[in-house]
Structure 1
Amino acid sequence: MYNAEFREGAVRIVAETGKPIPEVAEKLGVHPGTLHSWVSRAKRNGSPSSDTRRIVRQRWCSVLRGESVRRRRGH
């Protein structure tokens, strides 16, 4: 029903953002149980390492800090 690219993207969102599966599932229009099974399968088959998640979080924090600085400067 869902293609591989969609499933991988959904799993990536959960892994990289740390958002709860039910929240991500609702936004994507997928049953939470379905997304949970995709995430579980990805973990069994090898998911992004903790280093990858750390790097993603660092980059995201950098982006947010940059936006905050731009707002304070009035841009």
Structure 2
Amino acid sequence: MGEARKKYTDSFKSEAVELVVTSGRPIAEIARDLGVNEGTLGNWVNLAKKRGELTEKPLTIDERSELTELRGENRRLKMEREILKKAAAWFAKESM
């Protein structure tokens, strides 16, 4: 015979979800610490998102700065790629 399913209170579920959101730790790690199946905790988090109970925490100043820096780097890389494409096309045309 199988084990009886564990029942968790709504407050336990909401505190577990809050821990996932605020700690920055992986769901699997938190689930192990709480003695809950990883999939179960993931389901609780997804359900809270669907219900609109979770709000994304705003970016910190450091995160916002890093995002701005990475966007600038992406723009520069795109420009470099376009220049290299044009140069490759020009050299291919010249070698014929």
TM-score between both structures, scaled by the size of structure 1: 0.65
Pick aligned residue for 1:19 from 21, 25, 34? 25
Stretches of 4+ aligned residues off by more than 3 angstroms = none
Using the TM superposition, give the Cα deviation of residue 18 of structure 1 relative to its aligned residue in structure 2, in angstroms.
Answer: 1.4
What stretches of structure 2 of length at least 5 have no aligned partner?
1-6, 61-96
Name the residue aligned to 1:48. Answer: 55
Structure of higher RCO (CA pairs closer than 8 Å, 6+ residues apart): 1
More helix by share: 1
Provide the secondary structure at the position in 2 that maps to 1:50.
Answer: coil
2:8 equivalent to 1:2: yes
Give the aligned partner of residue 39 of structure 2. 33
- For 2:8, what is the secondary structure of its paired residue? coil
What residue ranges of structure 1 are gaps of 5+ in the alignment?
A: 55-75
Q: Which has the larger radius of gyration?
A: 2
CA RMSD, aligned part only? 1.5
